[in-house]
A and B are shown apart, each in its own frame.
Chain A
Amino acid sequence: MKLHNYVNRALLNLELSCLAIMMASVAAAEESHVRARLVADVAELRSGESFHLGVLLETDPGWHVYWRNPGEAGLATEIDYELPRGFEANNLQWPVPISFEQSDGIGGYGYEDPVVLAAEVTSPDRVPSSIPVTVTASWLACKDVCILGSAKLEAELPLDGAKLSDSKAAMESWSANLPHEGDTEEFVLSVTGGPVPPKGAVDLVAWLHWKAAPGTVEFFPDSGPGLKVEGVRVQTRGALTRIDFNISRLNSSSGPATTLRSLIVIEDERGKRSARVAHIELD
C-alpha cells in the first residue's frame, strides 16, 4: 500500500503487454485483460473536506487481480496517487475479495468481478475550483498465465456530469462492499495453539462462537509483510466455526506483528457476501 504525494514520479516498469496511457478517465489495455477507469465521488472541491478517489478495475472473464494479501502466490494490486500540494490520499480500502485456487494446493485472494479500490483524499484550507490528479494502478492479472499491467489515469476533479454519475454507482458499490469491524453481537472469537514464536511456524486455530448459525463462513488473512499464513481450512457446524491455519513470522521493517488482522465473510439469504474484521492475537 503506497500513496505518493509528489507531482513528478517515475512510471512503473512494465513487463509484457501493451502500456496504454490514459488521458481523461478511460483505459483499454486489451492484452493485459484488465480495463481501468478513474472514479471519484467529489462534485465540488471544498476547503478542509474529504472525498474519495480511486480506480475501477474490470477483468476479462476468468481473469483475476489480487487483494492486499494475494495469498501464496501472485502480487497485490497497487494504487499510487499524484495530487497537487495540500491534497493527501490515505487509507486505501479494499472491498471483500474472493478466494480461488491458483494452482494445485496454492490458494489466492482477489477479484474476478469489477472492483473499485479507493482512498480518502483530504483537502487543504484553500482549494481551487478544479485540480489535476493522476492515479496509477498496477496489477498482476492471471488466468492460466499471468500478465503484469498498469494504467496511468489522469483527470481534472471534480469530474463533469456524465463521468461523475458513472462514478457514483461504482463508488456506492465500493462503499457497500467494504469490511466493517466485527462486533461481539455477532460472534465471539477465541484462539488456541499460540503464542506465535519469534522464529518457526505454528498451527493456530481460531474459533468463532456465533450468536446464530451463520451458514457458509470464509476466512481471509490480511497478513502484512511480517507474517506468512498458509494452509487455511474453515469448518462450520451449527453455530461454531473452526479455522485452522499455519503461521510464521517474517523479518519486517515494521517490527513484530502482535495481531493478525483478518476478514470473516458470511453470505446472507440473498447470497450477498459481507465481511467483518477480526483481530487474532498472536502473543
Chain B
Amino acid sequence: MIKMMKTMTLIAILAVAGGAAAGPGVDVGDKAPGFTLNDSAGKKVSLADFKGKVVVLEWTNPDCPFVKRHYQEGSMKNLTSAYSESGVVWLTINSTNYMDAEANAAFAKKEGIGWPVLVDQDGTVGHAYGAATTPHMYIIDTKGTVVYEGAIDDDPRGNMEAGARTNYVSQALNELDTGKAVSTAETKPYGCSVKYKK
C-alpha cells in the first residue's frame, strides 16, 4: 500500500514537472505563422504580401554540403522556373546566426538567385516554423495553411538514378495546381542542422 502511494506520488510529481511538449514549430494543417523579414537588399518582405498565392519556404545555409549540392544541381532554380508561371512564390530564408544581409546578398549574387533571400539571423522565423535542417521545405496553400513540410526529395545522398528520385515539392505543387490534396504532406527533412543563434 505504501509502495503504491509512493509510486503515485512520484507520478504526480513527474506529471506536473513534465508538461512541456516540443518547442514552437508548425504541423501540417496549421495556419502558416506570419512574418516580416528584410531580404538581402534590405527590402521588407512579409508573408502577408503573398496572400492568396501558393508560397514555398526554403530554409538554406550556403555552407551546408546538402544545400551546395542542390544549388550545383540547380534544384531550386528548376523548381522556381517550372512553377513561377502558375503564380507560386518562392522565398529562401536563412536563419544561420553568422550570416548577415551582406553575406546573403553575396550568396544570392553568386547563385544568380532572382527571388527573395530573407535574412533571419536571430532565428525567430526559423523557430516559429520549427525549421531543423538545411534544406527544410514548407509549402503554404492559397488559404494560408501549411500543406507540406519536410525534405525536398527522397535522396539525401544525391546518388539515386536520374528519374528514380521523388521531388516532394514538385509533387505537392503539381497536386495543388490541379486542385488535388497533397498526397505526401510530411516527410523527415534531411540536411545539416539550422545553425541558430544560441
Residues of chain A having any CB pair with chain B under 8 Å: 10, 12-13, 15-16, 72-75, 78, 102-106, 108, 138, 140, 142, 144-148, 199-201, 203, 205, 207, 209, 225, 228, 230-231, 233, 235, 237-238, 240, 242, 244, 246, 248, 250-251
Mark B172-198 against chain A: 1 for CB-CB distance below 8 A, else 0: 000000000000111111111111111
Chain A residues positioned under 8 Å from B65 (CB to CB) = 15-16, 140, 146-148
Kindly report which residue of chain B lies nearest to residue A148, judged by CB atoms: B65
Q: Is the interface of B mostly helix, strand, loop or mixed?
A: loop
Q: 13 A-B pairs, CB-CB below 8 angstroms?
A: A15-B68, A72-B133, A105-B23, A138-B157, A147-B65, A199-B185, A203-B21, A228-B186, A230-B22, A233-B18, A244-B18, A244-B21, A250-B186
B14 CB–A CB distance under 8 Å: yes
Q: How far is the CB of B168 from chain A (nearest CB, A)?
A: 9
Report the separation of the CA atoms of residues A231 and B15 in the bound assembly, to the nearest whole angstrom.
Answer: 16
Q: Is the CB of B27 within 8 A of A106?
A: no
Question: Does the CB pair A242–B18 fall under 8 Å?
Answer: yes
Q: Which residue of A lies closest to B27 (CB)?
A: A201
Q: Is the CB of B132 within 8 A of A73?
A: yes
With the chains together, A102 CA to B189 CA distance in Å? 15
Residues A237 and B187 in contact, CB atoms below 8 Å apart: no
- Number of A-B residue pairs having CB atoms within 8 Å of each other in the complex: 109
Q: Are B193 and A106 touching (Cβ within 8 A)? A: yes
Interface residues in B, total, Cβ within 8 A: 45
Shortest CB distance B68–A (Å): 6
Q: Which listed residue, B68, B157, B188, B198, touches A13 by the CB 8 Å rule?
A: B157
Known A-B contacts A13-B159, A233-B20; the reply to A73 vs B188 at CB < 8 A is no
Q: Are B13 and A237 in contact (CB under 8 A)?
A: yes
Point out the residues of chain A lying under 8 angstroms from B20, CB to CB: 233, 244
CB-based contact A251/B184 at 8 Å: yes
Contact across chains for B63 and A12 when beta carbons are under 8 A apart: no
Chain B hits for A205, CB < 8 A? 18
| Among B14, B28, B197, contact of A240 (Cβ-Cβ < 8 Å) | B14
**B-chain residues with CB within 8 Å of residue A200 when the two chains form the complex:** 27, 29
B14 touches A74 (CB 8 A): no
Which residues of chain B come closer than 8 Å to A146, judged between CB atoms?
A: 64-65, 192
Please indicate the chain A residues that have their CB under 8 angstroms from the CB of B189 in the complex.
73
Residues of A within 8 Å of B184, CB to CB, are 251
Contacts of B191 in A (CB 8 A): 73
- Do A250 and B193 touch (CB < 8 A)? no
User: Given the known A-B contacts A145-B63, A230-B22, are A103 and B195 also in contact in the complex, defined by CB atoms under 8 Å?
Assistant: yes
Q: How far is the CB of B80 from chain A (nearest CB, A)?
A: 23
How far is A242 from B195 in the complex, measured between Cα atoms in Å? 30
